Amino acid sequence: MNGVRFAWKAIFLGLVTIALFQSPASASEAFFKGGWTLQRDASSLRFQSVKNLTIVESSSFAEIEGGIDETGSAKVRIYLDSIDTKIDLRNVRMRFLFFETFEFPEAVITTQIDASALADLPTAKRKIIPLDFKLDLHGISKTYQSNVAVTYLSEDLVAVSSTAPISVAASDFNLGGGIKKLEEAAGVVIVPSATVSFDFVFARKAGKPVQSVSADEAPQVAAAQSAASTALEPEGNLDAEACIGRFEILSRTDNIYFPSGSSQLDPRSQPLLNSLVDIITRCPGLVIEVGGHTDSDGSDTSNKALSERRAGAVKQYLVSKKVPESRIKSVGYGESRPVAPNTSAEGKQRNRRIEFVVVE
């Protein structure tokens, strides 16, 4: 009898030991084992903005990528050039005037997921967990707190979704100037914040293809898969209307810099000028005028001469990048064409500019 009791005691202790080693730590570690990869075509990130107080516009991004490693560390990259507003020139405004993608091409979301919080997900199927995450955007990092819904779709697929829109203020990322540029370009008033929501689907790296997800299993997948690649900048040559619109937008960027009183291009100007080279190349046959403008400080004569030198410096940069000299004309207008009163520092800054116009 004592032998039987001893045997049962040994079995019991063995089961307890196994349970301790399997739950919850080992179960959660097994959940992340091998890592997970974001499924772009089944995922979406959207934001809503408001203009003229009542008009709500929804935009998304066509290109995102990311993953979760074995430790639960997650990262999602949003390629800002893939902004999709459904209108080509509006996309271009968002790229150049707001996000300034020539200098800040991507936004990055990072977070650490608590493995123990998802240990029972295969059984629970859906859990809402608190999450601290960091958003890196426009050269600035900010931490947010939000609840997210994690849904177990299959052994090899999970969905991670926002449970409520997340408010993001433009001023937190030094994007207030971009808001003003958009307002001037479109002739509207824009609320300086947006609400962001997301639906991400992750597949185990060695798991099944995402096509195995049905619309019933993940309703967000069908909507996400409709994201059009037309949001991306088209390849090849552009038509005349697209070219003219892009040069008008580039004239509003204020991202061509010169030291005070100098015509020496600041190196910070190169990202925008390189984008300009690409657009000129894809607008064959068009002749572009580079126009230099100044504020009213100084004499008319000196301002005109400075504006001519600055326009000439931009032309020479473009020519150095293999743009045919015959396609570029440089003109200095001095202070004769102000776009704002020269009575404030902000107005003077707006008047010190380089503009690009199709002239032939």
Reported as a single tens digit per residue, the pLDDT across 105-149 is: 999 999 999 888 998 999 999 999 999 999 999 999 999 999 999
Q: Could you tell me the two tokens for 58?
A: 């929804």
CATH 3.30.1330.60 holds for 240-358: yes
Angle between helices 25-32 and 2-22 (to 10 degrees): 40
Length of the chain: 360
Dist. CA 138–CA 101, nearest whole Å: 9
Residue span(s) of the chain under CATH 2.40.128.110 come to: 30-231
| H or E stretch covering 84 | strand 83-84
Using CA atoms, how far residue 260 sits from 26, 35, 219, in Å, is 63, 52, 56
Dist. CA 333–CA 290, nearest whole Å: 10
Sign of CA dihedral 52, 53, 57, 59: positive
Residue span(s) of the chain under CATH 3.30.1330.60 come to: 240-358
Cα 334 from chain centre: 36
Cβ–Cβ < 8 Å for 290, 329:
yes
| The 328-332 sheet, strands edge to edge | 328-332, 288-293, 353-358
pLDDT confidence of residue 37: 97
pLDDT confidence of residue 206: 60
CATH 3.40.1190.20 holds for 30-231: no
Do you find a cis peptide bond into 24, omega within 30 degrees of 0? yes
Dist. CA 50–CA 69, nearest whole Å: 37
Q: Could you tell me the two tokens for 189?
A: 């008033």
- Residues of the chain with pLDDT below 70 are 1-29, 206-232
Q: Please indicate, yes or no, whether the overall pTM of this predicted structure exceeds 0.75.
A: yes
- Alpha helix locations (H) across the chain? 2-22, 25-32, 88-93, 121-124, 176-186, 219-224, 240-250, 270-281, 300-320, 345-351
Those residues whose C-beta lies under 8 Å from the C-beta of residue 105, and which sit 6 or more positions away, are 79, 80, 81
Dist. CA 55–CA 189, nearest whole Å: 10
pLDDT confidence of residue 98: 97
pLDDT confidence of residue 33: 86
pLDDT confidence of residue 57: 95
pLDDT confidence of residue 21: 40
Pairing of strands 73-79, 157-162: unpaired
